[in-house]
Structure 1
């Protein structure tokens, strides 16, 4: 086209954007909106699950203590059905094979707190089997058994507490190192293997707050409070979805108004 022809072109002519240029952003925004709504709904479902878990834990922990199931039934116990069950068992502690699991007790029910260890001690049963008992917390300066000799009770004892399954792995907690006797997770199978305890129960018992002689270990420190921020998370996802919808509507209305203002040839 010559310069003269270009000059005669109507001033209102313009290149309309391709239809795909409008549809693709709309599809992307719609997909993002559905994802955000889906995440919010998933958090509401998680909230329902968490509330049911809290109810079950409280119900089991507050129930009267029942005898520990016999070894023949240990393999049938499950985390979903038996975690935090209130149980009682009688045996004798083997203090020579206790294990110290490092922890930080920041919200204690007793007086001791801060850095320290959970004292995991085998409770030897009459049939020769054993159940590992988390007897409670001791501060760093009470690491050695001699520093808390009064609490090393001898002879038959009755232990009441909550049945616990192996502590699940976490990226925030180091793996156990049996070779260095460094323990960070309560894993009964690992501890039993390291301490030479064949036939040990595949679970532990968190001892209750019944005082030990000398006050240590400090029992009854099982955490029964579970974080439940799923409603907050759900509202956040739904809020983002609503914001995206609002922005999309604002853009659509702005484009519509712009098209109305554009003169037609």
Structure 2
């Protein structure tokens, strides 16, 4: 029995070491992906605005190739159709003002016109007539927030779910994305409050897994010497 113990210990330690190293390598791969994503997003935000994608492009839109793309569109806002989505920003709690926008090309999308404070929610004047909107393309945010599901029937929205909002407003041809409008002038709603931040702790995670693998080797050597 005594002779078998080192063999069993080595096998168990070898499997655990392989798992820990694999997790570390995976985090390194995630680090490379996240670094590339951040670089691409920063490049998109800094470029000139391009026309917002029309229906023939919607199926190909993904977070990797479209999120935070700077776009522009022309058309008119639909009156009396605002949807307020609860938000917490650097200006405190309040709402995002989501408004249907009929484009000159004949299709519709939702525009996040900006933020209104909770106590000023009724102060959100709508620009009339033809408009040109520039901002960042954002993909739909379905389901709601943590532990709080959207309730369209009650008019309670916690995420900017374009499909659900479009269905509630009877917009059958709405785009699967919305635009975070840039700030234009003073007053409410306040545009341009998009927070572009990505958690990137993959390097620390990788170092943790590699350190655990190294510690396992040291403990295994110590145990064998005993």
TM-score, normalising length from structure 2? Answer: 0.92
Q: How do 1:186-197 and structure 2 match up within 5 A?
A: 186-197=160-171
Query: Is residue 167 from structure 1 mapped to residue 141 from structure 2 by the alignment?
Result: yes
Larger Rg: 1
Report the counterpart of residue 183 of structure 2 in structure 1: 209
1:39 aligns with 2:13: no
Larger strand fraction of residues: 2
Aligned-partner Cα distance in 2 for 1:197–1:22 = 69
Which consecutive unaligned segments of at least 5 residues does structure 1 have? 1-16, 256-265
Q: Tell me what 1:140 maps to.
A: 118
For residues 3 and 142 of structure 2, the distance between their equivalents in structure 1, rounded to whole angstroms, comes to: 53
Please state if 1:233 is matched with 2:205.
yes
Kindly provide the CA deviation profile for residues 141-193 of structure 1, in whole angstroms up to 9, marking residues without a partner as x.
Answer: 1222xxx15x3221111100011111255872522111111111111111000
Q: For the residues of structure 2 that align with 1:224 and 1:252, how far apart are their CA atoms?
A: 51
Instruction: Kindly report which structure 2 residues correspond to 1:1-265, keeping only aligned pairs within 5 A, or say none.
Output: 17-105=1-89, 108=90, 113-144=91-122, 148-149=123-124, 151-167=125-141, 172=146, 174-211=148-185, 213=186, 215-253=187-225, 255=226
Would the aligned equivalents of 2:145 and 2:158 in 1 still touch at CA under 8 Å?
A: no
Asked if the contact 1:134–1:207 (Cα under 8 Å) also holds between the matched residues in 2, the reply is: yes
CA contact (8 A) 2:97 2:112 kept: yes
Evaluate the alpha carbon distance shift between residue 171 and residue 130 of structure 1 in structure 2; reply closer, same or farther with a 3 A threshold.
closer
Say if 1:173 and 1:184, in contact at 8 Å, map to a contact too.
no
Question: Aligned-residue CA RMSD in angstroms?
Answer: 1.9
Following the alignment from structure 2 to structure 1, what is the Cα–Cα distance between the partners of residues 222 and 36? Answer: 41
CA deviation map 1:29-75 (0-9, x unaligned): 22111111111111110000000000111111111011223333333
Number of residue pairs matched by the alignment: 226
Answer 1 or 2: which has greater helix percent: 1
